[in-house]
Structure 1
């Protein structure tokens, strides 16, 4: 029995969508982290679509630059996917996106919560939710600070430190106290983007007499949950191994290519 939805030229609509578009999305969504290319058989296995349907969809996707095919016949994502990804990353407003997560974290920990980003050899407090405490840490927003050995500085540089909380997770926080100010302590976890690069440090900070190592251990799971949720909103997926690097991947690839060329 022939399904009209698989007949060339027939464009069937679902409730709120178009089947051909849904299937094209399924086809693109079949690609996973680490895939260099997929055969027609593997795409059929992952999507449940007939091979003839996949080939029809591939024609349109290739014409739009969303899909490409190698000489060997394997399919891979096209250049326009990278273009859209770059546009998305450039258009994202980290400060605006971070605010709900910071506010929830500040309410749960009853300490100030901030998002720090790296700007060259400085760190900047991009967004902040104040603690409901009369005595609190208060870094000024958008003012360049030293990329030091505070928890935020260590996270932004992809370095290790005094880990607290559950091991084995990329969002495990680092705790520091009295590094640049003897009266201030902080707890920080990385924020990853869709490519697994560190784009920020989500930080809980407060007076050292209140934010002790013991209290930091209690706050660590709360921070890890919010850092992971914010990262997921930026496109990070748990199955993707993070790089723990703050250098964009294209810069690291260029650097590696240069090194290989001088060997």
Structure 2
């Protein structure tokens, strides 16, 4: 693995391609070793070889680079979008990301109105059937906007806390993958399904605008797959988290 990484690290800014000899000189590896490792790197999309025999970085390197840039920009650039959303809806606005089988509140802007809410930033919570959990898992729950589309919000109420409701819309990156769930949350008595329908277009607009800053384009079909609609606005208490 270390030697394979040495091959990738041999490429420098401005290199369009490297010959086998150049790779051997830069890495100190034997040519037969480079050729053997190159087979695995090519199969994984990390390396390609031209008709003239030169090696070039593969498309998966570009994809990983785009993902890295997007993840670094999420917490830095989402703040103004959440602030605008919280101001328009007068409820708390957050960005959740997925970490394996958990969801994490990466950034949060508190509501002007008082709110009973136990969400804490950067604390792993269950990837449950809350609106954020559904969005991060690529599921479509109860819609909260009259029109569909990739940024159509999902509304849930009383899923893990009978007194809390939330509304979430997906955030997409340049590859059309869901990288976050932009969420409006508040007390269930105030954030009702009728109010959620009013907030739906506002949330969709901010999620779409933020996705555009991450490189999302309308002509890219989101990777989020179609699944059966689920209405999960019922009071029950699975492990961890609120909403």
The alignment's TM-score, normalised by the length of structure 1, stands at 0.62
In the TM superposition, 1:25-104 aligns within 5 A as 63=16, 79=57, 82-91=60-69, 92-104=72-84
Q: Give every structure 1 segment of 4 or more consecutive aligned residues whose post-TM-superposition deviation is greater than 3 Å.
A: 61-65, 68-71, 78-85
Partner residue in 1 for 2:215: 235
Q: Return the alpha-carbon distance in structure 2 between the equivalents of residues 90 and 166 of structure 1.
A: 34
Residues 64 and 80 in structure 1, CA contact (< 8 A), matched pair in contact too: no
Deviation of 1:94 after TM superposition, in Å, equals: 1.1
Gaps of 5+ in 1: 1-60, 72-77, 246-263
Gaps of 5+ in 2: 1-13, 19-47, 226-243
The structure 2 residue matched to 1:137, chosen from 99, 108, 117, is 117
Q: Does 1:114 pair with 2:73?
A: no
The CA deviation string for residues 111-167 of structure 1, in whole angstroms up to 9 with x for no partner, is 000000111111000011111112343410000111110100100101121011132
The CA deviation string for residues 186-234 of structure 1, in whole angstroms up to 9 with x for no partner, is 0000001100000110000000010000000000000000000111110
Tell me how large the CA RMSD over aligned residues is: 2.3
Question: CA distance change for structure 1 residues 64 and 98 in 2, over 3 Å: closer, same or farther?
Answer: farther
Whose relative contact order is higher, 1 or 2, with alpha carbons under 8 Å and at least 6 apart? 2
Q: Return the alpha-carbon distance in structure 2 between the equivalents of residues 122 and 83 of structure 1.
A: 26
Deviation of 1:62 after TM superposition, in Å, equals: 9.9
The alignment's TM-score, normalised by the length of structure 2, stands at 0.67
User: Equivalent residue of 2:142, what SS?
Assistant: coil
User: Equivalent residue of 1:202, what SS?
Assistant: strand
- The structure carrying a bigger helix percent of its residues is 1
**Farther-moved stretch of structure 1 (93-102 vs 121-130):** 93-102
The CA deviation string for residues 223-249 of structure 1, in whole angstroms up to 9 with x for no partner, is 00000011111000011110116xxxx
What is the number of residues matched between the two proteins? 177
User: Equivalent residue of 1:199, what SS?
Assistant: strand
The structure 2 residue matched to 1:189, chosen from 162, 165, 169, is 169
Question: CA distance change for structure 1 residues 197 and 88 in 2, over 3 Å: closer, same or farther?
Answer: closer
Q: Return the alpha-carbon distance in structure 1 between the equivalents of residues 161 and 61 of structure 2.
A: 43
Question: CA distance change for structure 1 residues 136 and 226 in 2, over 3 Å: closer, same or farther?
Answer: farther
Partner residue in 2 for 1:258: none
Deviation of 1:69 after TM superposition, in Å, equals: 11
